Amino acid sequence: MSAPSPSLSFSSKELRDLALAWIALGLAFAIFFAGGGQRAVTGILRGGIVGPLLLSLLTAGMGFLLHEVAHKVVAVRFGQVAEFRADYGMLFLAVVSALAGFIFAAPGAVHHRGRLTRREHGLIALAGPATNIVLAVVFLPVFFVGLLVNSEFVALAGSRGLTINLFLATFNMLPFGPLDGKTVLGWSKTAFAAFFVPSVVLTIGAFVVGFGF
C-alpha cells in the first residue's frame, strides 16, 4: 500500500520567505527601472515610491514568485515534500545591483525531497518557465486595455509584465548550471527544444518591438 502524497501547504517560514522575496524583488526592479543609483533616488523622491513599487510587485515580483510556487505545486503533485527558501544574501544583492544600475536577481529556490523519475524532475523544472509564459499571455491583453482606457500605468504593467515574464522563461531555460533548462534537457531534448526555441523568439520580438519600456 503506497503512502499518501503530501498535501499542498505553506509553512509560516515559507510564507515569510515568499513575502520577503516578493518585496525585495519589487524594490530592486523599481530602482532598476528608475535608472539606478542617484537617478533612481531622485526620481523616486520626486514622483513617490508607491507607483513604481506597485508596478514592479505586479510584474517582476509576481513573475518570480509564481515561478517558484509552480515548482512547488508540481513537486507536491509528484509526492515530494517541497518548500521555498529565500536566499537573503542574493535578495540583498538584487537591491544593491539595482542601485548600481543593473539587476541580478536570484531570490531563492524550492527545495524538495523524495524519489523522482527523470521525467518528473523535468516536469517540475519546466513548471516555472511555463508559468512565466502563461503570465506573459495574461499581461498582453492588460497592455491593450491600458491603451484602450488611456491608462499609462495599466499599459506599462501589461508591457513590462509581458517582457519580464518572457525573459524569465527564456533565461531559466538556458541549459547551464542550476537553471531549469539543464534539468529539462536532461529529461527530454524534444521538450526542451519545443519550449526554449519559441521562448527565445518571443523574447527577442518583445524587446525589438519595445515592450517593457
Is residue 14 among the annotated active site residues? no
Cα–Cα distance list, 29 to 39, 55, 63 (Å): 14, 9, 12
* CA 57 to chain CA mean position, Å: 11
Q: Cα separation of 115 and 36, whole Å?
A: 44
In degrees, rounded to 5, the angle at the alpha carbon of residue 95 between the alpha carbons of residues 50 and 30 is 30
Amino acid, single-letter form, for residue 124 = I
Task: Encode 173-198: b = buried (16+ Cβ within 10 Å), e = exposed.
Answer: beeeeebbbebbbebbeeebeebbee
Which of these, 43, 183, 164, 162, lies nearest to 105 by C-alpha position?
A: 164
Active-site entry in 68, 83, 120, 152: 68
* Dihedral angle, C-alpha 96, 100, 104, 110, nearest 10 °: 10
Which of these, 188, 53, 65, 180, lies nearest to 129 by C-alpha position?
A: 180
Active-site amino acid positions: 68
